[in-house]
Amino acid sequence: MPSRNPRALPPDLDPKAVPDHVAIVMDGNGRWAGAKGLPRNKGHEAGEAALFDTVEGGLDAGLSWLTVYAFSTENWRRPAAEVRFLMNFNESLLVRRSHELHEREVRIRFIGRRDRIPGHVRRRIEEAEALTAGDTRMTLAVALDYGGRDELARAVQSLAAQIREGRGPRRIDERAIARHLYAADMPDVDLLIRTSNEFRISNFLLWQIAYAELHFTPVPEPTREPTRAAPRPAGTGFPGGGA
């Protein structure tokens, strides 16, 4: 488990109350830009700064995993120009930031389908994952072309194929299914955050958030403060911590 940095935490926050895995639905980039009279793309660009502020906050707090929803399986329905921008933006973000994350000992993982991702973006994904594979301070998982239902369907299809070939497990249980998810080593989510006053899960990490606490904030993604876990009321704890 990454070490906590007590100096980076609010004075009234017990480091033991910080969750190990936080997941974020990054929402509101377009609305933030619209409210300022800017193109939607400017909102996505501003969201990058907020994301990396959050990464820094996660490192300070000692998070083990931070998972962010970058592009859903449903986002292909957006205007073609916006989809192209988002794919190219993710590629340029990897070029700009992967070495910076590596220096901070952050492992980069991508979860989601890869067959529909443009080849030049896939290459950057593979390069970033290879570069940071040995980093252990924190894992930043980026959900790209991801859908929770799609992940579960593909896991079951993979499991069924193994069984047909005689290579499957003797028993189909939760562990068997979990081993066929995009990131079999991903721990359950302790805290799910969604920005921009939306109160939906939006098909994100449906398996992993089974026991997560949910926090919805009205603040849009580009203006969110760096993530810090809120102090917990006495006698409560995050799932997985025995409470």
Amino acid at position 132, single letter: T
Q: Which of 166, 160, 157, 96 is nearest to 124 (CA)?
A: 96
Q: Answer for the pair 28, 220: CB distance below 8 angstroms, yes or no.
A: yes
Q: How far is 115 from 177, CA to CA, in rounded Å?
A: 22
For residue 27, indicate whether it is catalytic: yes
For residue 145, indicate whether it is catalytic: no
Considering the candidates 27, 60, 145, 190, report the single residue annotated as catalytic. Answer: 27
Contacts of 56 (CB under 8 A, 6+ apart): 226
For the chain, the C-alpha Rg in angstroms (whole number) is 18
Considering the candidates 41, 53, 75, 203, report the single residue annotated as catalytic. Answer: 75
Q: How far is 220 from 242, CA to CA, in rounded Å?
A: 33
Residues carrying an active site annotation:
27, 75
